[in-house]
Every structure is written in structure tokens, then in C-alpha cells.
Amino acid sequence: MTLQGKVAIVTGASRGIGKAIALDLARRGAAVVVNYNTSEAAAREVVQAITDAGGKAIAVKADVSRMDEAANLVKAALDAFSRLDILVNNAGTTRDTLLMTMSEADWDTVINADLKSVFNCCKAAVRPMIRARAGRIINISSVVGLAGQGGQTNYAAAKAGVIGFTKSLAKELGSRNITVNAVAPGFIPTALTEVLSEEQKQAVLRATPLGRFGTPEEVAYAVSFLASDEAAFITGAVLTVDGGLVMH
């Protein structure tokens, strides 16, 4: 599976799953735009790791929950590499709490970072992809968007929204040879999941047929496959990478 000659944007690629996706796309030959919002030093380290290995990458700061910044991110990719083949909408965050105690800010922050960001980046990226009559869009959802989770009404709504968005855009862009798919990870230890209690983690583990947590790299392999020429006939799909936690 080669991605030689392709150009990819990965949002939220400074750490966690996004970092693993950026490194794996680059390893397969893609030039990668490493987006970050606050973690500049970490994003520069990802770029360094890619260039040290002989690949091409740049770091671009953009808060993708903001439409103007998402547009600037796509423009930076086109300015640097003159094309855009792959968009991975990975940036996301959580503000977990029960609905009774959830503030409007908790709701808005998650909906904007996890769902509106996908709209913002797709809106900016589809124009060059339509012109090229080719493209791959991969949106990182979550098993929580499929199954729901107490304490995460905001996050579940955003991630379920990403799935509906993915299927709709897949229908809009199929005739332009652009595929749009979602990847729904299960429990992957990162900064995002550090906040969960040991009891919550053990409950997830017990419910996972493969009996372990996943790794960021295992999510990245699924993304690289969906980004490849080999996945040309797959669109509107939701690929769970969750050790069997949620079978849908």
C-alpha cells in the first residue's frame, strides 16, 4: 500500500491518534500537513520525525473549530504542496459530565471541536478535490457515536453527527471520485482517555472481545488503508477499530 506522491492533511496531529496517522501516512510516502492548535512543540517533533525518515511534512497551526482557520489550513497545504489528496479529520476533545451538570460551554466546545471542525475542513478541502476529480476524506468518529455513553451526551452527539455527515457527503461526492469514510475507534490509551477512572477502563476491557485496548497505530493502519488506491470502492462506510467492543 503506497501513498507516494499524495498530499495529506491530518487535523490534531500533534499527539495521540493524529500523530500516529501522520507518521503512518508519511511512512507510506505521503507529504503530510501536521495540524495542531496548542501543542506547537509536539507538532514540530512530528514533522522532524517525518523529515528525519526522508519524508515531507510541515506543521500548521489552526483551530479547526473556526471556519476561517480551517480554510487557512487547507490553503497552507495547497501553497506548500500544490495539491490535496487526503483529508483526515481527527481533531477532537471531550468535556465529560452528566447532562444535569453539563454547561452550554461544555456542549458548544465539543460540538465545535468534534463536529463543526469536520464541516469546516471538508468545506475548504472539497473544492480542490472536485477540481482534481479525486480525493479521500476520512473522519475519525468513535464507538461512542454508535453506542452512546453516559456522561458523554455532547461527545456522542458530535461523533454520531460525524457519521451522518460522512454518509451524506459520500453520496454528494461519489460522482466526483471522492470517497468519504469514518473510522470509529474503541478505547485507545491517549491523553483523551487518561481522565477515565480505573473502574471505567476495566469495564471497557471486560466488554472488549479481544481483551485489550487498541493502539494509535492500529487506528492509523485503518486510515491509511481508506486513504489508499486499494480502498477505491469503499465510501460511506464506518470502520470500527475497537477489538469487537461495538458490533454494528
Q: Give the residue numbers marked as catalytic.
A: 155
Q: From the CB of 175, what's the least distance to ligand NAP, in Å?
A: 28
- Applying CB under 6 A, does 147 fall inside the site for ligand NAP? no
Question: What whole-number distance in Å separates Cα of residue 7 and Cα of residue 228?
Answer: 12
CA triplet 219, 18, 50: central angle to 5 degrees?
Answer: 105
- Applying CB under 6 A, does 135 fall inside the site for ligand NAP? no
Smaller CB distance to ligand NAP: residue 119 or 187?
187
- Applying CB under 6 A, does 120 fall inside the site for ligand NAP? no
- Positions in 14-33 near ligand NAP (CB under 6 A): 14-18
Question: What whole-number distance in Å separates Cα of residue 5 and Cα of residue 246?
Answer: 35
Helices (H) and strands (E) in the chain, counts: 9, 7
Cα-flanking dihedrals φ and ψ of residue 177, to 5°? 65, 30
- Residue 232 carries which DSSP code? T
Strands 178-185, 86-89: pairing is: unpaired
Per CB under 6 A, the segment of 26-34, 51-59, 110-118, 169-177 that binds ligand NAP is 110-118
Q: Using the rule CB under 6 A, which residue among 33, 47, 63, 146 binds ligand NAP?
A: 63
Half-sphere exposure of 104 (CA within 13 A, CB side): 0
Q: Using the rule CB under 6 A, which residue among 59, 140, 146, 180 binds ligand NAP?
A: 140
- Applying CB under 6 A, does 185 fall inside the site for ligand NAP? yes
Strands 31-36, 178-185: pairing is: unpaired
Per CB under 6 A, the segment of 25-33, 44-52, 118-126, 185-193 that binds ligand NAP is 185-193
Q: Applying CB under 6 A, which residues contact ligand NAP?
A: 11-12, 14-18, 35-39, 63-65, 90-93, 113-114, 117, 140, 142, 185, 187-188, 190-193
